[in-house]
Amino acid sequence: MEQIKFINSITSIDKEDWDQLLPKNDYPFLKYEFLELLENTNCVGKNTGWHPAHIAIEKESKLVGAMPLYIKTDSSGEFVFDYTWANAFYQHGLDYYPKLVSSIPFTPATGPRILHASNESPLDIFSLILKGVEKLSKENNISSWHVLFPEEKDIDVFSEKSLSVRKNAQFIWFNENFNNFDDFLDTFRSRHRKNVKKEREKISSQGIVVETYSGEELNKDLMMQFYEFYLSTNLKRSGHLGYLTKEFFEVCLERIMENIVLVLARDKNSNSLVGGSMFFKDQENLYGRYWGCSAEYDCLHFECCYYQGIEFAIKNQLLKFDPGVQGEHKIKRGFKPTITYSAHWISEPNFKDAIENFVSKEEKHIKAYVDATSKYLPFKNI
């Protein structure tokens, strides 16, 4: 007999049971340690807008399926924008919040969403998950459920269960068996190749050296110096402290050191750090996440957030590098427009039809956007 449970803390699930459902590539954002870290350092939970309610599917008291789930009271930190949907609900006298989101908080990185035991099919597990979500939503007046940044291989599962599949586009770098950065640049047309070289040369001409740290090379002092950049840049841009707390940076190396990469820029004259970027990695991919600096330097953002990431991916034979959402300036630096996905369940039948119509029309625009922006890629064969 199956049991469908909603868990308000990942610690209510046994770590070994959770781990046996995870993919083999070490996708960092679904690791037990990462989800626990978000909870323990107050990145999610009270006053954050992200309230854990993870789904657990048990058969004969054994965990056979799971899905990350959060109750959301706003749409911040999701990166799949649904504000027009919320407005439409309110204009018709309906509440859009609370809603349910199966996603990684403030992490627009495609990855597994339906976790299942090896002897269970994704469709069977998802059918049980959907059954639980429908019951929870009816009992708690929840408007909708949104599965954000799932893998393409699961799209058929969502479609078969009548969720509305929405497409968007991000700019992703793909490793085509490059030996080094120059090998990658050799695929560029001459003018674009020169532009990248000029941007990289500006770093050294300003007296800046850039270093990359990962795994055992990291330490708490480096993490806390990066936190200062992260904090000051967020305050400068938005007056917001950022999604991650100071506590996260203080203890993250104890939990997920093997998944963290730091790129730090140092002023050679003063020997002080002046900026940097933070990445996460697994066995196949690099994920660009956060950036900050204490002073403005020409092209430092491009170097720390893009070029150093590409170099790291090549050196470590990673398949792709996802630098985060938005930013058409990435195109001429070799990041390809790439389709990403989300899937949406709407409790109100009339709104379900309207949203299905919306995503169908939007898909044509997304395809046209990908086709149009692809023409601006710097490669010789474009």
As for how many domains the chain has, the answer is 2
Residue 155 burial (C-beta neighbours within 10 Å; 0-12, 13-18, 19+): middle
CATH of the domain at 180: 3.40.630.30
Q: Are residues 307 and 369 in the same domain?
A: no
Residue 142 DSSP class: -
Q: Are residues 19 and 158 in the same domain?
A: yes
In a domain, residue 16? The reply is: yes
In a domain, residue 217? The reply is: yes
Q: Each residue's pLDDT tens digit in the chain (382 positions)?
A: 799 999 999 999 999 999 999 988 899 999 999 999 999 999 999 999 999 999 999 999 999 999 999 999 999 999 999 999 999 999 999 999 999 999 999 999 999 999 999 999 999 999 999 999 999 999 999 999 999 999 999 999 999 999 999 999 999 999 999 999 999 999 999 999 999 999 999 999 999 999 999 999 999 999 999 999 999 888 887 777 889 999 999 999 999 999 999 999 999 989 999 999 999 999 999 999 999 999 889 999 999 999 999 999 999 999 999 999 888 999 999 999 999 999 999 999 989 999 999 999 999 999 999 999 999 999 998 6
Q: Are residues 20 and 163 in the same domain?
A: yes
Q: Are residues 138 and 191 in the same domain?
A: no
H or E element: which one contains 275?
Answer: strand 272-281
Distance CA 20, CA 42 (A): 26
Q: Are residues 164 and 180 in the same domain?
A: no
In a domain, residue 224? The reply is: yes
Rounding to the nearest 10 degrees, give the CA dihedral for residues 182, 187, 190, 193.
Answer: -40
Query: pTM value?
Result: 0.96
**Residue 262 lies in domain:** 176-318
Q: Are residues 41 and 14 in the same domain?
A: yes
In a domain, residue 95? The reply is: yes
* Residue 234 confidence (pLDDT): 85
| Secondary structure (3-state) at 266 | strand
Q: Are residues 301 and 348 in the same domain?
A: no
In a domain, residue 326? The reply is: no
Tokens of 244: 């991650």
- Residues near 319 by beta carbon (within 8 Å), at least 6 away in sequence: 174, 175, 284, 285
Q: Are residues 163 and 191 in the same domain?
A: no
Q: Are residues 16 and 133 in the same domain?
A: yes
Q: Are residues 182 and 72 in the same domain?
A: no
Q: Are residues 56 and 162 in the same domain?
A: yes
Tokens of 327: 């930013």
Q: Are residues 94 and 227 in the same domain?
A: no
Distance CA 140, CA 131 (A): 14
